[in-house]
Each structure stands twice: as C-alpha cells, then as structure tokens.
A = this chain, B = another copy of it.
Amino acid sequence: MPHLIDDAEALLRERGFKITPQRTLLLQVLAGQPIYLDADEIYELAHAQDASISLATVYRTLGLYAELGLVDHRYVEPEHRREVFRLSEGPEQHYLTCVRCGTRVLIRTDLLNQMANELVRRKGVSVSSACACFTGYCAACTEALRREGKLPG
C-alpha cells in the first residue's frame, strides 16, 4: 500500500514532523498486517528489517500515529494487558482470543453496532468507540480439549 504510506508521510510533513527511516518502516510493517498487533510484535517485524530500531521508538511512533489518527489502538487480549495497534482504515475489527493458542478469531460486528445504536437511541448517550472482547477457545482448541474430555460437548 504505497498510496497509504505516501498519504501518511504527507500528513507528517504537513504537521511539521520529520520523515525518518523508522517512521517509514513502521508504516510499511503496519500496512502489511490485516489484524491488530501488540507493540512487541510490531517491534519484532520492524527489527527483522532494520536491526537498529528500538522498542522505545516503536512506542513513540505508534503513539504519534494514534494521535494523528493513522492507527487504531485498543486492548483486545483477554487480560487486556497489552495494547494492540493497526492502521486505521477499513472497518473496526473485534476478536475472540484463544487462551490456549493465542489465535484471534474475527467476530462479525453488526451486532456490536446494533448494541451501540440501541444504546444511543434508548439512553441518549453518544458512543465514540465500541469494543467487544471475547475470551475462550478457538475451534481447533475447542475440539482438541473435547477429545481430551476437558471441555463438555
């Protein structure tokens, strides 16, 4: 997605920020990812291409991009410990995270939107962000655990 990266860099310039190899690299890394990644995963991917990049720069850059609206950042893990990031294009994504293998299973979000809409209609609130976090086992782990008799069904 060179277009997206160009746009992002144009925005950086426009706001008086500098274009550095690290910032470009992080845009490239993020552009290749369909799902949310945590800071460390992003760092590993970037580090594989440029061993000199530091985790601190990853955090600072992600923070900057979040402020500029270039990335979404959320807590989707079951424990809600690690923050996760992705480029903020396309529809919001929500997951079930498997506590056994870490797989993230995409969730249809129309019902979540329906919840938000209903909330607005019935309570008069305004909703700026909605997040559904499910914890459990992915299909493969569910089946494996059933075979081991560790899960009913």
Chain A interfacial positions (CB closer than 8 Å to B): 75, 78, 80, 83, 96, 98-99, 105, 107-108, 111-112, 114-116, 118-119, 123-139, 142-143, 151, 153
Are B119 and A115 in contact, with the CB atoms below 8 A?
no
| Oligomer: number of copies | 2
Shortest CB-to-CB span from A38 to chain B, Å, is: 13
Give bound CA distance, A111 to B107, whole Å. 14
Instruction: Find out whether the CB atom of B135 lies under 8 angstroms from the CB atom of A132.
Output: no
Question: B142, A134: Cβ atoms under 8 Å?
Answer: no
Task: List, sorted by A's number, 16 A–B pairs whose CB atoms are closer than 8 Å.
Answer: A78-B129, A96-B123, A98-B125, A105-B119, A105-B123, A105-B125, A111-B111, A111-B114, A112-B132, A124-B142, A127-B134, A127-B135, A128-B135, A128-B137, A130-B132, A131-B133
